[in-house]
Structure 1
Amino acid sequence: MDAALGPPEKMAESEGDLTPMMSQYFELTRRYEDALVLFQVGDFYELFCEAAEAAARICEITLTAREDSTGEYPMAGVPIDNAEPYIDDLLDAGYRVAVADQVEDPDEVTGVVERAVTRVVTPGTLTEDELLGGDDNNFVAAVAADDDGGFGLALLDVSTGDFYATSLPNAARVRDELGRFAPAELVTGPGVAAERFEDGTFVAEYEDAAFDGERAAETVAAYFGSVDALAGDAEVAACGALLDYAEYTRGGEDGDRLDYLNHLTRYDPREYLQMDAVALRSLEVFEQRSVHGAEGTALVDVLDETACALGRRTLTDWLRRPLTDAEEIEARHEAVGELLADPLTREELHEHLRDVYDVERLISRVSRGRANARDLRALKDTLDVVPEIRGLLADADSKKLRDLRASLDDLPEIRDLLSRAIVPDPPQELTEGGVIRDGYDETLDDLRETERSGKRWIDDLEEQERERTGIDSLKVGHNAVHGYYIEVTNPNLDSVPANYQRRQTLKNSERFVTPELKEREDDIVRAEQRSQDLEYELFREVRNRVAEEAERVQATAAAVAAVDALASFATVAASHDYARPEVGGDGIHVEGGRHPVVERTEAGFVPNDTDLTPERRVAVVTGPNMSGKSTYMRQVALIVLLAQAGSFVPAERARLRVVDRIFTRVGASDDIAGGRSTFMVEMTELSSILRAATEDSLVLLDEVGRGTSTTDGLAIARAVTEYVHDELGATTLFATHHHELTADAERLADAVNLHFGATRNEEGVTFQHEVREGPATASYGVEVAQTAGVPEAVVERARELLDAADVDADASEEQTEPARTADSGDHDESAVEETLRDVNVAELTPVEALNVLNDLKRDLD
């Protein structure tokens, strides 16, 4: 961000010479020195000086100049009615944006019009649909430190009112939660190093005083009555500061309350299956991974058969925070099962849910005074759907569906108010009339009748005046500047009556007005203006009345959202043959399990069984590349995740234990900017797993140790296997090319070998993608290299080297140690022979094989 966005240094000593408007602008830039100020001037938001130059560069708009008696200033502007795309560009560039609107009517003010910042737009406090750009939550987070090394975390979605708080013992757990919620913005308190948590998140600077314990407690209590629901001073500080920051972004001297915030949910992360950002990425729960240049599909997308934005957000939240309470999990499964068994009800629910608007965001706009008449009508249309949904759930057997039905409140008095007050198809603008229905207000009806009768009189005037004057071409018209008039062409001016008063002269005609017409016009204009003013006043009264019921609207929205998410789970289960899992066993038993994403994209997907028990809790998985090891491991994790989220699972049958965390160390990545190699990233992630996993965790390890030498990598892999088995006791799937680990699996009491097989024939290798008991017998690295398109000469040479290595290995096994010693005295090995003797070809990856081949060629040369 540019360091200086206010007046240039050369003006600092002479600001008294600035024009009143420019003085006003620079005063706002000082007050909001951490933001770009969009300053309303007529129909545009203008920026000046350094701010204008920054905006012109970022938004690719024209940089002009403003010149007055005090000097010339760089200037750039964007149209008010299309400002959102430009604001979005500025946010993407790392700026906050303070929007300064005219708060006085220019026609009623002598001198400079007063402007005030009405909102501060930041990435985490967006409320405008055009800027939010999707249905998912948009969180802003605050982190506060306590005296014992722990932290309080608060998360708020300003657009919906979702508000969460928790306490965490260390920075690593804070990162886990931030990875889970993926906030768009982070505010940190005193003593909190933002760089420990930001991970690409926009970090906002805010006053440390907001985190003060006493001030934060007062802020929280002002919203929720007390701080009793929170645990610890750090939670209070984080929540209070976050509320303070959200108010600040509303504009005004002291900010503005968020009256629609009715619930603060204090949660313990241990109540949910925990996954850090690494696990969420590697399992592709929310992020799509590009495959061969084509966009992949995320888990949330294959599960999303929701009908409305409310359901989509709830589905996402359930995947973000799967349950760990078996009874609650079973309650969701029971509801999904009931909807699955009744396709007619499920389809009718879907049809009605399609008519549900995003009332969580809508009610927040209502409470902030930003909702228009169309928003209120959308709320009414949504409330009209609620009785239909209640009716469809009237005979529900599952407790979950019965409870949701009881929570569906159609707010009959609000429905009636909106039905009586707001026209069915209202205009976008509030101040131009046509919003309030006839019959709602007697005074408004009288004003409208005065206006209508006046216009009827004027409509009849043209015919009357033609007959009276004998001028057939006479016309009665209206324009915004001169009002109503009677127009007579020049050839007929001699026939104009004496009571006509000239109003305007045109090239070919004259326009006139009569005292009667002027009186009627005044009546119409007065009635029209009073009507518009009264309509706006009545609309605000209706909107305020709706805002008073925000809590009831939010409760109904939550119930509708849960119904939609459960129906989505049932629809997916019906369409893709998912089975209801049994939850609460002592292991992970799956028959015919499938990867929920891969099976949609690859024809002929091969299902696989999984049998992990306390006596088989560590599985060493071997087999060729491309045989399906990684897909299989992810598949097991995703089946567990889906089950605990409340969904049925892609399998014939499943009996699953409840796990507390899912850890993954899958795939290669680096952090060049952070100075960390691929291997360092791998070891850092591994360290986190080994320190945090418990006997109730599910751990996926893929090729641990491959980022270093073969000897070091094998040593690390073996040590990790033993530690997971002996110390952690976690259920673990460990995919590896270190075949020595298969011997460890046979030696360790609660470990087992699994492998993916392949068959070699004249045409190459066929991968069977089927998991079997026991270790793999080969890695088929050369065949994979050939499949990948490695030049044939390299492949053939690799095969020769592989055959030679096999012969040497056989010969070595047949020789006795004394014979090898005697022979070594008669023959000096070349460098090539020494290299080949040390190579274990079965362990080489294709890239390693090419490196060895290159080294051999160099030695021979």
Structure 2
Amino acid sequence: MDAALGPPDQMAESEGDLTPMMSQYFSLTREYEDALVLFQVGDFYELFCEAAEAAARICEITLTAREDSTGRYPMAGVPIDNAEPYIESLLDAGYRVAVADQVEDPDEVSGVVERAVTRIVTPGTLTEDELLAGADNNFVAALAGDQGGGFGLALLDVSTGDFYATSLGDEARVRDELGRFAPAELVTGPGVAPDRFGDDSFVADYDDAAFDVAAASERVASYFGSVDSLAADAEVRACGALLSYAEYTRGGEGHQRLDYLNHVTRYDPREYLQMDAVALRSLEVFDQRSVHGAEGTALVDVVDETACALGRRELTDWLRRPLVDHEAIEARHDAVGELVADPLTREELHEHLRDVYDIERLVSRVSRGRANARDLRSLKDTLDVVPEVRSVLADADCEKLRGLRAELDDLPEIRDLLDRAIVPDPPQELTEGGVIRDGYDETLDDLRATERSGKQWIDDLEAEERERTGVDSLKVGHNSVHGYYIEVTHANSEAVPDNYQRRQTLKNSERYVTPELKEREDDIVRAEQRAQDLEYDLFCEVRDRVAEEDERMQSVASALAALDALAAFASVAAAHDYARPEMGGNGIAIEGGRHPVVERTEAGFVPNDTDLDPENRLAVVTGPNMSGKSTYMRQVALIVLLAQAGSFVPAADANLRVVDRIFTRVGASDDIAGGRSTFMVEMTELASILRAATEDSLVLLDEVGRGTSTTDGLAIARAVTEHVHDELGATTLFATHHHELTADAERLDDALNLHFGATRAEDGVTFQHEVREGAATASYGVEVAQTAGVPEDVVERARELLDAETSEDTADSDRAEDQQADADLAAKLRDVNVAELTPIEALNVLHDLKRESQTDE
């Protein structure tokens, strides 16, 4: 971000000579020095000096210049009615944007129009549909530290009102939650080192005083009555500071309240299946990798059959925070199962939910006074769907569906108010009029009648005056400058009656007005203005009345969102042959498991079984590259994740234990900017797993120890295997090319070997993609290189070197075996007590030793 966004030094020195408007602009830039100020001038937002240069470069707009008595300086502007794309570009470039609107009517002010910052646009506090990235949540977070080294974390989506708080014991837990929620912006309290949790563009600078416990407590209590729902001072401080920051961005120093926030949800991360950012990324739950330059597919996309934005956010949250409570998981499975078994109900529910608007964001706009008439009509159309959804669920059997049906309040009084007050297809702008329905307000109806009768009188006037004057070309017209007029050509000027008063002379005609026409025009203008003012006041009254029911509407939104997510899970299960998992087992038993994403993109996907239990909880998985090891491990984790989110799973059958965490150490990555090599990143992730995993965790390890020398890597891999087996007891899938680990799996009581086979042919290797018990016999690395297109001379040389190394290894092995045999014979000879042997016994010992030596040969 550019450091200087205010007036140039030479201009600042003579600021007393600035024009009033420019003085106002630079005053705002000093007040909001961390933001680019968009300054309304008529129909444009303007920027000046360095700010203009920055905006012109980033937004690719024309850089012009302003010239006044103080000099000439750069200027750039964007149209107000299309400002959002430019604001988005500025946000992407790392700027905050302070929007300074005219807060006075220029027609009623003599001198400079007063301007004030009405909103500060930051990445984490967006509410504009044009700036939000689809239906997904857009969180801003606040983090406060406590004296014991723990933290309080608060997360808020300003656009929907979703507000969460939790306590976290250490920085690792903080990173886990930030990775889970992926906030767009983080506000940190005093003593919290922001660089430990994100880069500079991610961390917002805000007043430390907002984190004061007394100030924070007062602010939280002003919203929710007390701070009793929060468990610790750090949580209170984080929540209070976050509310303060959100208010600040809504109205600058005015601190506009967010009245639609009616509760904060305090949660314990242990109430959900925990996955850190590494696990979410490697399992591609939300972010997909590019494959050969083409965008891949994330898990959320293959299970997202939701009908509305509410459902999309709910489904995303269920995948972000899968359940660990057995009864809650079963309740979702019951609902999904009922909808799978009843396709008619499922399809009817889906069709009705398609007509549901994003009422969480609508309620947010209503409560902030930013909703227009179309928003209110969309709200009414959504509430009209509720009785239909209730009717569809009238015969629901399972408790989950019945409970959601009971939560569906169609707010009949609000529906009736909106139906009576707002026209079915209102204009976009409130200032255009035509928003309030006829019959809603008697005074408005009278004003409109006066306006209509006046316009009808004027419509009839043209025919009457033509007949009275005999001038067939006479016209009655209107323009915004001169109002209503009667136009007569110069050729007919002699026919103009005496009561016509000249208003405007044109090249070929003259325009007139009569006292009667002027009187009617005054009546029409007065009626129009009074009707317009009254209509706006009536609309605001309706909007305020709707805002009073924000809590009821948010409850309806929550129920509709859950129904949509359940219906989406059911649709996916029915369309793609998912099975209901049996939960509560002591292991992970999957029959015919499939990777939910890969099976959609690769024809001929091979399903595989998994059978891990307390006696076989550590599986060492071997096999060649590209044989399916990583896909297999990921599919096991994704099946567990989907099951605990409440979905059926891509398998023929599944009996699953409930796991507390999923850990992954999969794939190669580095952190060049942070000075960490691939191997260092791998070891850091491994350390996190070994410190935090429990016997209830699911751990995926892929090629641990491959980033260093073979000797070191094998030593690390073997030590990790033993530690996971002996100390952690976690259910673990460990894919490796260190075939020495297969011997460890044979030795350890609760471990087993699995492998993916392949067959060698002259033209390469064929992968079978089928998991089997036992260890792989080869890695087929050279054949994979050949398949990948490595030049043939390189492949042949690799074979020669491999053969030579294999021969040497065999010779070394033979020599070692001979040495071991000699050592065994020598040991037996040393054990013979010659003095005590009879001649016959001595011959027998000699015979046995000779026979053993011949067998070894």
TM-score, shorter chain, exceeding 0.5: yes
Corresponding position of 1:430: 430
Matches within 5 A, 1:272-671: 272-671=272-671
Instruction: Provide the C-alpha distance between the structure 2 equivalents of 1:205 and 1:804, rounded to a whole number of angstroms.
Output: 63
2:669 pairs with 1:683: no
- Given that residues 125 and 140 in structure 1 are in contact (C-alpha distance below 8 angstroms), is that contact kept between their aligned partners in structure 2? yes
Corresponding position of 1:788: 788
Corresponding position of 1:9: 9
Corresponding position of 1:840: none
Corresponding position of 1:856: none
Instruction: Provide the C-alpha distance between the structure 1 equivalents of 2:153 and 2:725, rounded to a whole number of angstroms.
Output: 34
**1:343 alignment partner AA:** P
SS at match of 2:253: coil
**2:558 alignment partner AA:** A
Corresponding position of 2:262: 262
2:741 pairs with 1:741: yes
SS at match of 2:430: coil
Corresponding position of 1:164: 164
Instruction: Provide the C-alpha distance between the structure 2 equivalents of 1:803 and 1:245, rounded to a whole number of angstroms.
Output: 67
Deviation at 1:12, TM superposition (A): 3.3
**2:699 alignment partner AA:** V
- Given that residues 11 and 70 in structure 2 are in contact (C-alpha distance below 8 angstroms), is that contact kept between their aligned partners in structure 1? no
Deviation at 1:199, TM superposition (A): 5.3
**1:15 alignment partner AA:** E
Corresponding position of 1:850: none
Corresponding position of 2:843: none
Deviation at 1:432, TM superposition (A): 1.9
SS at match of 2:502: strand
- Given that residues 393 and 405 in structure 2 are in contact (C-alpha distance below 8 angstroms), is that contact kept between their aligned partners in structure 1? yes
- Given that residues 764 and 784 in structure 2 are in contact (C-alpha distance below 8 angstroms), is that contact kept between their aligned partners in structure 1? no
- Given that residues 183 and 201 in structure 1 are in contact (C-alpha distance below 8 angstroms), is that contact kept between their aligned partners in structure 2? no
- Given that residues 588 and 613 in structure 1 are in contact (C-alpha distance below 8 angstroms), is that contact kept between their aligned partners in structure 2? yes
Corresponding position of 1:250: 250
**1:116 alignment partner AA:** A
Corresponding position of 2:116: 116
Corresponding position of 1:23: 23
Q: Give the count of matched residue pairs.
A: 822
**6-15 or 482-491, larger mean C-alpha shift:** 6-15
Instruction: Provide the C-alpha distance between the structure 2 equivalents of 1:268 and 1:201, rounded to a whole number of angstroms.
Output: 28
- Given that residues 595 and 650 in structure 2 are in contact (C-alpha distance below 8 angstroms), is that contact kept between their aligned partners in structure 1? yes
- Given that residues 45 and 79 in structure 1 are in contact (C-alpha distance below 8 angstroms), is that contact kept between their aligned partners in structure 2? yes
- Residue 591 to residue 469, structure 1, CA distance change in 2 (3 Å): same
Deviation at 1:593, TM superposition (A): 0.3
1:498-529 deviation per Cα after TM superposition (whole angstroms, max 9, x unaligned): 11111111111111111111111111111011
**1:346 alignment partner AA:** R
Deviation at 1:819, TM superposition (A): 8.8
Instruction: Provide the C-alpha distance between the structure 1 equivalents of 2:740 and 2:610, rounded to a whole number of angstroms.
Output: 23
- Given that residues 504 and 511 in structure 1 are in contact (C-alpha distance below 8 angstroms), is that contact kept between their aligned partners in structure 2? yes
Corresponding position of 2:107: 107
Deviation at 1:6, TM superposition (A): 1.7
Deviation at 1:364, TM superposition (A): 0.2
Corresponding position of 1:761: 761
Instruction: Provide the C-alpha distance between the structure 2 equivalents of 1:39 and 1:723, rounded to a whole number of angstroms.
Output: 63
1:166-222 deviation per Cα after TM superposition (whole angstroms, max 9, x unaligned): 000000100000000000000000000001111576211000000001000001000
Deviation at 1:795, TM superposition (A): 1.2
1:294-326 deviation per Cα after TM superposition (whole angstroms, max 9, x unaligned): 110000000000000000000000000000000
Instruction: Provide the C-alpha distance between the structure 1 equivalents of 2:59 and 2:813, rounded to a whole number of angstroms.
Output: 72
Instruction: Provide the C-alpha distance between the structure 2 equivalents of 1:804 and 1:215, rounded to a whole number of angstroms.
Output: 75
SS at match of 2:279: helix
Instruction: Provide the C-alpha distance between the structure 2 equivalents of 1:50 and 1:763, rounded to a whole number of angstroms.
Output: 64
Corresponding position of 1:837: none
Corresponding position of 1:725: 725
Corresponding position of 2:708: 708
Deviation at 1:556, TM superposition (A): 0.1
The two structures have a TM-score, normalised by structure 1, of 0.94
- Given that residues 184 and 201 in structure 1 are in contact (C-alpha distance below 8 angstroms), is that contact kept between their aligned partners in structure 2? no
Instruction: Provide the C-alpha distance between the structure 1 equivalents of 2:685 and 2:13, rounded to a whole number of angstroms.
Output: 56
Instruction: Provide the C-alpha distance between the structure 1 equivalents of 2:779 and 2:817, rounded to a whole number of angstroms.
Output: 29
1:628-678 deviation per Cα after TM superposition (whole angstroms, max 9, x unaligned): 000000000000000000000000100000000000000001111111111
Corresponding position of 2:832: none
- Given that residues 142 and 153 in structure 1 are in contact (C-alpha distance below 8 angstroms), is that contact kept between their aligned partners in structure 2? yes
SS at match of 1:316: helix
- Residue 677 to residue 553, structure 1, CA distance change in 2 (3 Å): same
Deviation at 1:71, TM superposition (A): 2.3
Determine what percentage of the aligned residue pairs are the same residue.
86
Corresponding position of 1:39: 39
SS at match of 1:431: helix
- Given that residues 627 and 758 in structure 1 are in contact (C-alpha distance below 8 angstroms), is that contact kept between their aligned partners in structure 2? yes
**2:758 alignment partner AA:** A
- Residue 143 to residue 346, structure 1, CA distance change in 2 (3 Å): same
**Structure 1: runs of 5+ lacking an equivalent:** 823-861
2:137 pairs with 1:151: no
Instruction: Provide the C-alpha distance between the structure 1 equivalents of 2:810 and 2:148, rounded to a whole number of angstroms.
Output: 62
Instruction: Provide the C-alpha distance between the structure 2 equivalents of 1:607 and 1:361, rounded to a whole number of angstroms.
Output: 42
Matches within 5 A, 1:164-243: 164-198=164-198, 202-243=202-243
1:21-43 deviation per Cα after TM superposition (whole angstroms, max 9, x unaligned): 11111111111111111110101
Instruction: Provide the C-alpha distance between the structure 2 equivalents of 1:98 and 1:57, rounded to a whole number of angstroms.
Output: 18
- Given that residues 217 and 236 in structure 1 are in contact (C-alpha distance below 8 angstroms), is that contact kept between their aligned partners in structure 2? yes
SS at match of 1:166: strand
1:308-353 deviation per Cα after TM superposition (whole angstroms, max 9, x unaligned): 0000000000000000000000000000000000000100111110
Corresponding position of 1:848: none
**1:688 alignment partner AA:** S
Corresponding position of 2:70: 70
Deviation at 1:252, TM superposition (A): 4.2
SS at match of 1:221: helix
- Residue 819 to residue 531, structure 1, CA distance change in 2 (3 Å): closer
Deviation at 1:816, TM superposition (A): 6.3
- Given that residues 431 and 533 in structure 1 are in contact (C-alpha distance below 8 angstroms), is that contact kept between their aligned partners in structure 2? no
Instruction: Provide the C-alpha distance between the structure 1 equivalents of 2:418 and 2:409, rounded to a whole number of angstroms.
Output: 16
**2:542 alignment partner AA:** V
Corresponding position of 2:830: none
Matches within 5 A, 1:693-704: 693-704=693-704
**Structure 2: runs of 5+ lacking an equivalent:** 823-857
Instruction: Provide the C-alpha distance between the structure 2 equivalents of 1:456 and 1:666, rounded to a whole number of angstroms.
Output: 77
Instruction: Provide the C-alpha distance between the structure 2 equivalents of 1:297 and 1:201, rounded to a whole number of angstroms.
Output: 27
Instruction: Provide the C-alpha distance between the structure 2 equivalents of 1:816 and 1:270, rounded to a whole number of angstroms.
Output: 53
Instruction: Provide the C-alpha distance between the structure 2 equivalents of 1:170 and 1:205, rounded to a whole number of angstroms.
Output: 22
Matches within 5 A, 1:42-61: 42-61=42-61
Instruction: Provide the C-alpha distance between the structure 1 equivalents of 2:456 and 2:48, rounded to a whole number of angstroms.
Output: 51
Instruction: Provide the C-alpha distance between the structure 1 equivalents of 2:454 and 2:816, rounded to a whole number of angstroms.
Output: 119
Instruction: Provide the C-alpha distance between the structure 1 equivalents of 2:819 and 2:579, rounded to a whole number of angstroms.
Output: 63
